[in-house]
Structure 1
Amino acid sequence: MPTLEWIGKDKVVNHHQEVPYRVLERQYSYDEAGQHAEDNSSENMIIHGDNLEALKALLPRYEGKVKCIYIDPPYNTGNEGWVYNDNVNDPKIKKWLGEVVGKEGEDLSRHDKWLCMMYPRLKLLQRLLRDDGAIFISIDDTEQSNLRLICDEIFGTGNFISDVIWQHSVQANGYGGKFVSQFNHTLVYSKSSQFVLGNLPRSDADNKLYKNPDNDPRGPWRAGYCVNGLYRPNLKYEIQTPHGNIISPPEKGWRWSRETMQAKLNSGEIIFNVDETAIIHKLYLSDLNGKVPENIWAGGIAGTTRQATAELKVIFDGKAPFDTPKPTCLIERIIQIASDPDSIILDSFAGSGTTAHAVLNMNKADGGNRKFILVEMMDYADSITAERVKRVIDGYGEGKKAVEGTGGNFSYYDLGPVLLLPDGNLNEEVGPQKIREYVYYMETKESLPSEHSEDEPYFMGLCRNTAYYFYYERERVTTLDHAFLATVQTKAEGYTIYADLCAIPQETLHKHNITFKKIPRDIARL
């Protein structure tokens, strides 16, 4: 498989493994009661912070659980006048390049820098996807070819689904000597072959070809092909009509065997034309489950950036605080074909918050329970991204432009401290609960159970018939001894117990299927 090489690639291919694990610190929650400090246990999240570190922070809870990812990363056009700086010269990215790539970063081209920025983020996004999940990535011609190659490397060429062409503008301005650009790419990759592309709802325009001129009890239909697409000599046979006419086979043969053809004739699925010189295959509207998506999305169907800007102006009282946003109907279209009503939808380049808006719209429309996770590194994460979501929940606009609120909720997070310090010790400021969540995930690749037994305060959970204990106290040294074992109540085939020290001989541990792990030495790094 062809691979793409660029300056700095060797520094970032495995950088996602070196990204420190930070905890997420909830700042506030929002729901029908407005903004408040109390935790409303919302599964919807808006995270302010570097998306590379935020994606790492999501792994313990969400690895392999996200059904649909949509991202709209910087296109690397060099335009530095936007609120969302569409250029890898952003100070935060330059700082990261300096720390990770080193002095080489000073000599990198714009494309090298962009690739260095994107590669580790895509690696983490791939880990977060469910096996039946897919990622949709908006991009323009500047980096489309490079993005395709690194996605082939990360997701696998066999998991490429499509390059969807979206007409983002129907009234584009042209400049002398250049083509008018009216479309963007959306690269689509699945996590594995388990992904199944869903259908879109059918419109009246989609159904206009279906008629019922013969009052067929199965409803409207249209004529379909009866001829085989490939040459099949074994499917060449004559058909006799009710009045004895003979219909010769087409050059490539019929689509079905003689037996199947006769069954369709008997059921009325295939009929003869008036003069019995041809057959007609009925395709019934009632047999269709929606519309199979095409890979060209016109602006009149999927929306345009002009429409998205107009929508933002209504939401933000006449001002659009974000240039070239994505229209809500574009993201809704993606969610319709790539997720279920209870799926998790992730957007790690959240921008103005369109993805959350789309999720909330769809939940209101069909009663679904989709959850959104947004990540935005810029300082407007609260003032624009989260603010838009608040207004969508509550309702916005005035008069004829008033839009009823969708309802819903979310919690807003900042990236907190590193859990494991550079010297390998635990950062005790993180708190025992966050540490337990991390340790349990590293052992089981499962989320820490929410239920907690007061009788066994150090018990984390039972996974694959192994019981996990984290015997940790901030103010004292803990020791795995017989006194502690006497407190163990959970029955299991094996036990993994973390503590500072162990006073039980190895032979005894082995006899009782106990694995001792020393804090912090044996805590694995994510």
Structure 2
Amino acid sequence: MPLLDWLNKPASLQTARLVSYRLLECVPALGYGATPNANLLIQGDNLEALKALLPLYAGRIKCIYIDPPYNTRSAFEHYDDNLEHSQWLSMMYPRLELLRDLLAEDGSLWVSIDDHEGHYLKVMLDEIFGRKNFIANVVWQKKFSPQNDAKWLSDTHDHIHCYAKDKSIWHPNLLPRSLKQEGNFQNPDEDERGVWVSADYTCAKSKDERPNLYYAITNPNTGEEIWPATTRVWAFDRTSHERNVANDLLWWGKTGANSKPRFKKFQTDIQQGTVPVTIWFHQEVGNNQDGRRESLVFNKIEPFSTPKPERLIERILHIATNPGDWVLDSFLGSGTTAAVAHKMGRHYIGVEMGDHAVTHCQPRLQKVVDGEQGGISKAVNWQGGGGFTFCRLGATVFDEYGMIDKAIRFPTLAAYVWYLETRTPWIAPDTLSPLLGIHDSTAYYLLYSGILGDRRPQGGNVLTQTVLDGLPKHPGKRVIYGETSRFGAGRLAAEGITFKQIPYDVRVG
């Protein structure tokens, strides 16, 4: 598979691994509605935020949509969108790596981009996600009229690259049928089975390719013997055709004298929806002007230049998620993805680094909770409710010497240790225990921060016989993290224990 190369690529391949883990600190004053709430709005650098989310959300996100800076050498008000090409690629690579790790196995990534970097991004995504997991390049009509001042060609579209974490298990949801499509179903012969549409009764094969599909059929109304065109054959073999005739599935026209039959497909037999296509017109999903008008509702002084319309994000989330699924946008911008996810009953995480996380995103989500009626609200019958938690990035888990920050408490370190060992998120139980869980027949324990009720330096954080006797039992292999162990290597082996010392063996990469 061809790979993309650029200045500083070797360093960018290591960036995600070297990013420090940081704590997420809640800001109660900026949360809203039913709080604390699973929905998260995070203010901070998205690379550090994505790394901080890994221990709790790796493999849990069903759909990721991002609208990164397009690197167009334009002076965007809220972004430094004038990055040199190699810098842009180096900025995107580690973020895409972390996003891949956050995706569920049946999840999908959707990235908006234009022609300046879109084709380079495609090659990069092939490298990170695997070319076999490419789903489609959706073309979105972002403008509906030409720019007469364009120097060359008027730009009217954006790309949306779609990748699956694992294409073999990812499947899109069908889109609702439009009123126009529903109108195609009729019942001119008053068939008691209901309305239907007609389909071609032939297919594009030659009689040499499929001789069993090339035969004469008789029009029952005229007695005429009918053959398919020389470049085509019937869509059914003789046995299936006879069954179609017996089931009254052929349509010869209103007079019954058509020279070719058509096949009746009843609405009740057709899947309730349509397969998504790769060209999305502005009449269906909105355009840049719609997005700008929607953002004016939340900030009339400093609207974003090119916010995405809510209908566009609704289309993506409808295809890629179901109610209750997790949605992530790490370039949240004006907050559209989070707003749409909230109205559609999805859980969401939105990340923004600038002040507009507070000046734009937070007020917008607050109004969504209150039941605002812009965007898709009427289409989904949004009445308000729910809430979100606002967080900022706090201290790093490890200091410059690799020591654990003294402010770290048991649940935080437990999440990192569990992710380090299993690469899966840790779901904290209602009652904390030294036993973090069992994964692939191995039990993992953490002796830290007085979890056993003894905060003395040589107390419950040290593996002793008394401590071991008090741990929840497990008949198989055990991995125990602690301050130190009083057991020698032989005793540990006899007990089936792998002991790992805090902080030296806690290296989450």
Normalised TM-score (structure 2):
0.90
Q: 1:335-355 CA distances to partner (integer Å, 9 max, x unpaired)? A: 011112221111010000000
User: 2:107 and 2:295 mapped to 1: Cα distance?
Assistant: 29
User: 1:176 and 1:383 mapped to 2: Cα distance?
Assistant: 33
Partner of 2:406: 428
The 1:73–1:235 alpha-carbon spacing in structure 2 relative to 1, beyond 3 Å, is same
The alpha carbon displacement at 1:51 in A equals 0.7
The alpha carbon displacement at 1:121 in A equals 0.7
Partner of 2:190: 215
SS of 2:203's partner is coil
Letter in 1 for 2:154: V
Partner of 2:237: 257
Partner of 1:270: 250
The 1:341–1:395 alpha-carbon spacing in structure 2 relative to 1, beyond 3 Å, is closer
Native 8 Å contact 1:272 1:278 kept in 2? yes
The 1:464–1:5 alpha-carbon spacing in structure 2 relative to 1, beyond 3 Å, is closer
Partner of 1:334: 316
Q: 1:284-309 CA distances to partner (integer Å, 9 max, x unpaired)? A: 23313212111111111110111111
User: 2:225 and 2:197 mapped to 1: Cα distance?
Assistant: 24
User: 1:177 and 1:488 mapped to 2: Cα distance?
Assistant: 73
Match of 2:163 among 160, 165, 189: 189
Partner of 1:377: 353
The 1:186–1:404 alpha-carbon spacing in structure 2 relative to 1, beyond 3 Å, is closer
SS of 1:55's partner is helix
Partner of 2:457: 476
Match of 1:309 among 292, 310, 330: 292
The 1:393–1:452 alpha-carbon spacing in structure 2 relative to 1, beyond 3 Å, is closer
The correspondence of residues 82-97 of structure 1 with structure 2, limited to 5 A, is: 82-88=77-83
Letter in 2 for 1:490: K
The alpha carbon displacement at 1:11 in A equals 1.0
Q: 1:390-444 CA distances to partner (integer Å, 9 max, x unpaired)? A: 111113479xx99975212111111111112232221222223211111122122
Native 8 Å contact 1:67 1:344 kept in 2? yes
The alpha carbon displacement at 1:378 in A equals 1.4
How many pairs are equivalent? 488
SS of 1:429's partner is coil
The alpha carbon displacement at 1:183 in A equals 1.1
Partner of 1:141: 115
The correspondence of residues 472-511 of structure 1 with structure 2, limited to 5 A, is: 472-473=448-449, 476-477=457-458, 478-511=461-494
1:296 aligns with 2:279: yes
The alpha carbon displacement at 1:467 in A equals 2.5
Partner of 1:391: 367
The 1:393–1:12 alpha-carbon spacing in structure 2 relative to 1, beyond 3 Å, is same
Partner of 1:356: 338
The alpha carbon displacement at 1:87 in A equals 2.7
Aligned-pair identity in percent equals 36
Please say which of residues 434-443 and 331-340 is displaced more in the overlay.
Answer: 434-443
SS of 2:25's partner is strand
Match of 2:139 among 160, 165, 188: 165
The alpha carbon displacement at 1:177 in A equals 3.6
Partner of 2:33: 32
Native 8 Å contact 1:241 1:247 kept in 2? yes
Q: 1:303-325 CA distances to partner (integer Å, 9 max, x unpaired)? A: 01111111122233x44532211
Native 8 Å contact 1:394 1:404 kept in 2? no
Match of 2:106 among 108, 113, 132: 132
User: 1:494 and 1:255 mapped to 2: Cα distance?
Assistant: 60
Letter in 2 for 1:278: K
The alpha carbon displacement at 1:19 in A equals 1.1
The 1:7–1:26 alpha-carbon spacing in structure 2 relative to 1, beyond 3 Å, is same
Partner of 1:438: 416
User: 2:297 and 2:355 mapped to 1: Cα distance?
Assistant: 22
SS of 1:134's partner is strand
Letter in 2 for 1:495: R
Match of 1:516 among 493, 499, 505: 499
Match of 2:148 among 174, 193, 213: 174
User: 1:31 and 1:382 mapped to 2: Cα distance?
Assistant: 12
Runs of 4+ in 1 over 4 A off after TM superposition: 401-405
Letter in 2 for 1:237: Y
Q: 1:377-400 CA distances to partner (integer Å, 9 max, x unpaired)? A: 1121112112111111113479xx
User: 2:151 and 2:434 mapped to 1: Cα distance?
Assistant: 70
Native 8 Å contact 2:198 2:251 kept in 1? no
Letter in 1 for 2:226: I
Match of 2:265 among 283, 296, 301: 283
1:419 aligns with 2:388: no
Which ranges of structure 1 fall in alignment gaps of 5 or more residues? 34-39, 89-109, 364-369
User: 2:155 and 2:141 mapped to 1: Cα distance?
Assistant: 9
Letter in 1 for 2:86: D
The 1:173–1:361 alpha-carbon spacing in structure 2 relative to 1, beyond 3 Å, is same
1:58 aligns with 2:53: yes
Letter in 2 for 1:361: K
User: 1:519 and 1:494 mapped to 2: Cα distance?
Assistant: 19
Native 8 Å contact 1:236 1:254 kept in 2? yes
- Give the alignment's Cα RMSD to 1 decimal: 2.2
SS of 1:69's partner is strand
The alpha carbon displacement at 1:213 in A equals 0.8
Which ranges of structure 2 fall in alignment gaps of 5 or more residues? 450-454
User: 1:246 and 1:182 mapped to 2: Cα distance?
Assistant: 52
Partner of 2:70: 75
1:247 aligns with 2:226: yes
Partner of 2:175: 200
User: 1:160 and 1:448 mapped to 2: Cα distance?
Assistant: 29
Partner of 1:367: none
Letter in 2 for 1:472: Y
User: 1:292 and 1:404 mapped to 2: Cα distance?
Assistant: 26
Please say which of residues 219-228 and 484-493 is displaced more in the overlay.
Answer: 484-493
Q: 1:439-471 CA distances to partner (integer Å, 9 max, x unpaired)? A: 1221223333422546xx433223334332211
Native 8 Å contact 1:60 1:446 kept in 2? yes
Partner of 2:38: 43
The alpha carbon displacement at 1:176 in A equals 5.2
The alpha carbon displacement at 1:13 in A equals 1.6
